Amino acid sequence: MKVEKLVEYGLPREYVETLLQNGIDKLNPVQKQAVEKGLFTDKNLVVVAPTASGKTLVGEMALVKKAYEKKIGLYLVPLRALASEKYYDFKKLEKLGFRIGISTGDYESPAEYLRRYDIIVATYERFDSLLRLKPSWLRRIGTVVIDELHMIGDDERGPILEMIIARLLRTNIQIIGLSATIGNPLDLAKWINAELVDVPYRPVKLVEGIYDRKKHKILFMDGREEKIVHRIGNAALNIALQSISAGIQVLVFVHNRRKTEEWAYKLTEHLGLFQHLIDKRKVDELLKKLKESPSRVEREKLEYLIKRGVAYHHAGLSNIARKVVEEGFRNRVIRIVFATPTLAAGVNLPARRVLVSIKRYSPLRRKTVNIPIYEYKQMAGRAGRPKFDPFGEAIIYDANNNSEAMKYIRSPPEPIYSKLNNERSLRIHTLSLIASGDANEMNELMQIYKNTLFYKQYGNLENLKLTIDKVLDELAQWEMIRFIGNKEFYATSLGVITSKTYLDPLSVNIFIKNLPEKPREFYLLFLITMTPDYMRSKPYINSRLVDYYENEAIILAEDNIIPKPENFMDEYYDYYMYKLWAQAFVHAKMLHDWINEVDEDTISEKYGIGPGDIYSARDTASWIAGALSKVARTMNLLSMDEALDKLSIRLEYGVKEDALELVKLQGIGRVRARTLINHGIRTLKDLAKTPPSVLEKLPGFGPRIVRLIYEQLENLK
């Protein structure tokens, strides 16, 4: 289908012209079928097609159509990094007069300002929070595009996405779900009352292969064989070196953060002959950006590797380092990246050849297990760069035997099943429905839950109702809801603020049950790290380190510096809860170091984590502290409210209390704030009195930063 034909479906000529300018003169089979099945007639769609098959354009066209109709379109993604990527992709539409917005945090804000945007990119969690807060512009939404629809099967995000869709199904809003890996797409399409677009089209052909250990060969499914002659280590390293020798750019997936770094360094020992291929000018440009990383250790490690065309990528990297690695790989300055699988579900980073591990260590089972097929498909889908490669190659390198590897190539992804029926999810979403006024009796609750995938797949709500009954009793016991007679209920002010701040009701209950008489910094940090909201996304800290600090935790508990472990147990001793208590103590210590301005490298070395882990923990803890401050205010605990509010800001910036005023200015972080204080500049008033020439002589204060500071000071006047 020629793109000019889109005018007949109501898309304006000027938008079609932008597609033509971007080299899109006709729709591919995925896009064509989506149009034919009702993309522009408000029909719901489930689009299942391989990675890089143009699914995003399907969503974009629907959003553009709605924008021309003066309706708001939303594009939902699971990760903040993915939200940023899609936001910048859609920014190109601004030249057509569209306003593009993004919203990924600030859960308690109704964000009325978003009403001025035509297209909004948001995370699942953020949109879920908006459905609770009900800003006025929700009525103007015409289409919601849900990227990575297979996340329905995720234990953590699945119930959030399921409840978003259940709520949307009660409206006339068009729902478009996009995914590359769904084993039962027809089931999801029937649930959403959608047309199914299931097209196995890829713009770049995918050739899958397996590494035969006995023959030392890659056996490709197109009949080719490639003998691996290098012997520098394991199969992944041997194939990687041979690929680079042939001028092939490689992405190696490894299910172990430590190994990504080890293997990257190991490979560089054998790349001496290829140094002349590195573009030193482009490397220098990358390394200049890497200098912005707050971690000296991170800078030095990656600088050594990038100079040799190698890098690693995992959640422990700072955002700056991750962006440098991604940019270097996209621009082919970096020829090989060793990455954990989070990259496959995050940013768009294709490679000609992708090496895939199907083995992962399970801490729960204490042994190596095989990954699900859909995870393999996600990683394999990264092979092949549109417009650059005639085909992409995905190679399984660590199967026990060839038949085990063939199972992954020949089998479809696993079916997706609802993960809604667990206490935590139902506790959060039931309170949300009551607090937002969507349900005030059991029948109303069950009518909404009838719109869920759980009901579609299992046909009855009896099991769900049993869990909901238990949840309602808990919420009433915690004084978050009150019953009127036997049937009706409503949310108390405590329940409303809990829902609005997006906290798990159990987190709030833990906080209330363990409230200290006076706000104490370390005690509050411990309560934050003990909440399920922190626990669900905490960075991993080695159990040996937890054991090392265990005695210190016990002593501090006896002195009431932190709550005792039995505070978090029922009538009987619970070993699992005790271990969580011990872990929470170490995380509280780490955050305590952070807010007392211990540098990133020292924290990383002390706790065995990366800069990215520090920032992830900081973001979560800062949000929880800020949310709990509002809970304290609702309970009229004003000194606790103030203490938690300050703690939230200190966690955000990683500063002592005396730097809180200075970090209000953009460009002044923890390091520059401490530099100013050490030179006698303690307040914004002090700063305004200081001549620019004096500031420019301080370490870390160049002309650009100084100019930015004084512009803000001028505005504050």
Q: In what order do the strands lie in the sheet with 100-103?
A: 100-103, 119-123, 72-77, 141-146, 174-179, 44-48, 194-198
User: CA 580: distance to chain centroid?
Assistant: 24
**Residue pair 148/47 in contact by the 8 Å Cβ criterion:** no
Cβ(132)–Cβ(171) below 8 Å: no
Question: What are the structural domains, with CATH classification, of the chain?
Answer: 3-198 (3.40.50.300), 205-410 (3.40.50.300), 423-485 (no CATH), 505-654 (1.10.3380.30), 662-716 (1.10.150.20)
- As a whole number of angstroms, the distance between CA 326 and CA 478 comes to 47
The answer to whether 250 and 240 are in contact (CB under 8 A) is yes
pLDDT digits (tens, 9 = 90+) for 462-473: 888 888 999 999
For residue 162, which of 466, 506, 426 has the smallest C-alpha distance?
426
Q: How far is CA 154 from the centre of its chain?
A: 13
Cβ-Cβ contacts under 8 Å for 124 (sequence gap 6 or more): 76, 77, 78, 151, 157, 160, 161, 164
Residue position matching structure tokens 């002010």: 493
Residue 475 neighbours by CB under 8 Å, 6+ apart: 427, 430, 431, 434, 481, 495, 505
Q: Under a CB-based contact definition with an 8 Å cutoff, are residues 177 and 45 in contact?
A: yes
The CA distance from 446 to 637, in Å, is: 36
Whole-number pLDDT of residue 385? 84
**Coil, helix or strand for 262?**
helix
Partners of 13 in beta bridges: none
- Name residue, tokens 């809003």: 173
Task: Print the SS3 string covering 301-352.
Answer: HHHHHHCCCEEEECCCCCHHHHHHHHHHHHCCCCCEEEECCHHHHCCCCCEC
- Residue 419 and residue 277: Cα distance in Å, rounded? 50
pLDDT on residue 185? 95
State the CB neighbour count (10 A cutoff) for residue 92.
14
What pLDDT, on the 0 to 100 scale, is given for residue 570? 75
Structure tokens at 663: 């970090």
- B/e letters for 335-353, b = 16+ CB within 10 Å, e = fewer, are bbbbbbbebbbbbebbbbb
User: 220 phi and psi, to 5 degrees?
Assistant: -90, 150
Report the alpha-carbon distance of residue 298 to residue 288 in Å, rounded.
14
CB 98 within 8 A of CB 121: no
pLDDT of 346 reads 62
What string of H, E and C letters represents the secondary structure of 460-516? CCHHHHHHHHHHHHHHHHCCCEEEECCCEEEECHHHHHHHHCCCCHHHHHHHHHCCC
d(CA 471, CA 478): 10
pLDDT for 463 equals 83
pTM of the entire structure? 0.92
Contact predicate 508/628, CB 8 Å: yes
- Non-local CB neighbours of 665 within 8 Å, separated by 6+ positions: 684, 687, 709, 712, 713
What is the per-residue pLDDT across 659-669, written as a single tens digit (0 to 9) for each? 999 999 998 99
Could you give the CA distance from residue 264 to residue 262 in angstroms, rounded to a whole number? 6
* Whole-number pLDDT of residue 344: 63
Q: Whole-angstrom Cα distance, residue 433 to residue 163?
A: 10
Q: What pLDDT does residue 572 have? A: 65
Rounded Cα distance between 632 and 645, Å, is: 10
Residue numbers in the chain where pLDDT is lower than 50: none
